[in-house]
Amino acid sequence: MRRRFLKIMLAVLGFTAFGSLLYPLARFLSATRGEPKGKQLAFKKTEIPIGAARDIVFNGTPAIIINRPDGGFVALSRVCTHLGCLVDYDKSKKRLLCPCHAGVYDLDGAVISGLPTRPLREISLKIKGDDVVIG
């Protein structure tokens, strides 16, 4: 009886010790050091004329700010939602093109054609007077 009790206690303690390590381990392995959150970037409106775009890195994510001819400023992640390549802005076609598998997005980030199934992630953007503030 006492031996059985000891065995059960050993199992419980073993599982508890092992189990209590799992969560910290999962958090430790998925840490995202080096990606500061909550940072803001600001530009003068005049720096990006209508139809032009600027590549930026925001919170560790390659992104693009586009001054759309008919929709004003928008900030989008450049990370293609298919397999993570970076989309490029094609000014003449008013499209964002993925060089890897020919995914095509419009200037709102919505998928037009190709393998991506989700739109590009939009990054919050505000106009404050003459400034464009990202984040």
Give the residues lining the site for another protein (CB under 8 A).
Answer: 26, 29-35, 55, 57, 60-62, 79, 82-86, 88, 98-101, 115, 117
Tokens, residue 73: 């400023």
Per the CB < 8 A criterion, the answer to whether 63 and 123 are in contact is yes
Q: Which helix (H) or strand (E) holds 21?
A: helix 2-29
Spatial separation of the C-alpha atoms in residues 122 and 24, rounded to whole Å: 31
Least distance CB 128 / another protein (angstroms): 27
| Comparison of 5 and 28: residue with beta carbon closer to another protein | 28
| Comparison of 67 and 77: residue with beta carbon closer to another protein | 77
Least distance CB 88 / another protein (angstroms): 8
Give me the residue label for tokens 């073993």: 14
| Comparison of 34 and 129: residue with beta carbon closer to another protein | 34
